[in-house]
Amino acid sequence: MASPKWVAWALLFGLLSSVLMSSSSSPDPAGFLQRAKESEFSDWMVGIRRRIHENPELGYEEFETSELVRRELDAMGIAYKHPIAVTGVSGFVGTGKPPFVALRADMDALPMQESVEWEHKSKVPGKMHGCGHDAHVAMLLGAAKILQECRDELQGTVVLLFQPAEEGGGGAQKMIEAGAVENVDAIFGFHVTHELPIGVVASRPGPIMAGSGFFEAVISGKGGHGALPQETIDPILAASNVVVSLQHLISREADPLDSQVVTVAKFQGGGLFNVIPNSVTIGGTFRALSKESFSQLKQRIEEVIVAQASVQRCNATTDFLDRKHPFYPTTVNSKDLHEHFQKVAEEMLGSNSVIERQPVMGGEDFAFFAAAVPRAYYYFVGIKNDSRGPQYPVHSPYFAINEEALPYGAALHASLAVRYLSENRSSSPSNANVHDEL
């Protein structure tokens, strides 16, 4: 019979072994954040972000950005596939076997002139990283570095998606068509926001970003002298009535609890003060938080434009521009992954720094991934710092990234992936196909 002393030692040894096994299979989000905040690590991400910012590239033109990503992956010893969807890159860290979890960052810039005067201002006239995608790439590369450092502990495979053409080009859909998310069980995406302080993240289950599309209409009448309107068919009057009537779709046809938007942001017609033009072109965007509402809104926009123009004796044609700018579906977050996100983020940042955000009417082509992968989740990373003066929103020529936020995005992205693999390693079928790239 064993003595009480040996029994006590055996119990203690078993407890220590259990703790060690638990710690080896479960990542430490706070530790990942501490690693990402180390000066050498953080400075490396800042350098990447600034190089990308100085050389912004539009959708499907991200050749230098893609090359930079591949150089960094090569330096880390991470395997990847390129090109995907023209300039996209798909990297792989882990066992090369299921489960597969993906992390995504978009790479493209905007066709706008930067108005922020600083050392690393855009060097390309008329192009700017005004939506933070330069920071997204730096954060995903930071996550890749963390993942590669703990690759021997990964219980599956992390797929790193560096995506082109988020800004209206449907780059996510093209990556899906190229097989980038084949066998992927879950995917995470993020976006920086000036609305949240540094160290705070936010999201929600269910719809988080709206489905979105564009429209353009040409309203044709009969031009003539402004002093003789009775001899004309005035398309400006018709177009003005169209704009007003389109707003009634929201105020009088949409459920007030079902968020929808119609915005006419383009109105072009005529060039002289005393001449009524032959035609007017209007254009805008429409958005909704459900597939059904989006489809209904599209139908009614065309009906209203044609019918209201005809009331003023004009003809109208409508183009939804979906060949050049594909409709973006609603981005819907998995409820299971919301619980996962909350748990991991709270471990890293504390419960007060993880908040629920209401849906926003901006569109996001991460929605294509959400529709193609069994579970998807999209969240926001705060970059606000009141000590730095006014904070400008994305798509503003004065938008600026607070680079102190980079470690938070990198560490959280990595933590979400590692924890997902550790908690789902037994749920993936053992006979699932391994990616050909691996």
Whole-angstrom CA distances from 136 to 150, 325, 410 are 21, 22, 9
Of 85, 123, 121, whose CA–CA distance to 106 is shortest? 85
Known binding residue 133? Answer is: yes
Known binding residue 61? Answer is: no
* List of E strands, 231-324: 260-268, 275-276, 279-288, 315-319
DSSP state of 89: E
The vertex-365 CA angle with 364 and 369, nearest 5°, equals 125
Residue 66: both structure tokens together: 């893609």
What kind and span of H or E run contains 337?
Answer: helix 335-349
Q: Are 172 and 369 in contact (CB under 8 A)?
A: yes
Amino acid making up residue 33: L
3-state SS assignment for residue 209: strand
Cα–Cα distance for residue pair 314/227, rounded to 1 Å = 20
Known binding residue 150? Answer is: no
The vertex-131 CA angle with 178 and 266, nearest 5°, equals 95
Torsion sign, CA atoms 416, 420, 422, 423: positive
Known binding residue 395? Answer is: yes
The vertex-332 CA angle with 330 and 333, nearest 5°, equals 160
Known binding residue 166? Answer is: no
Of 159, 169, 177, whose CA–CA distance to 62 is shortest? 169
Q: How many CA atoms lie within 13 A of 45 on its CB side?
A: 30
Residue with tokens 């705070």: 200
Percent helix, strand and coil across the chain, each to the nearest 5: 40, 25, 35
Which strands form 184-197's sheet, in the order they lie side by side? 79-84, 88-94, 157-163, 100-106, 184-197, 375-384, 201-203, 354-356
Amino acid making up residue 426: S
**Residue 18: Cβ-neighbour burial (10 angstroms; 0-12, 13-18, 19+):** exposed
Cα–Cα distance for residue pair 417/302, rounded to 1 Å = 43
Backbone angles phi, psi at 238, to 5 degrees: -60, -45
Of 96, 197, 107, whose CA–CA distance to 402 is shortest? 197
Cα–Cα distance for residue pair 148/14, rounded to 1 Å = 30
3-state SS assignment for residue 416: helix
Annotated binding site: 131, 133, 167, 191, 395
Annotated binding site for Mn(2+): 131, 133, 167, 191, 395
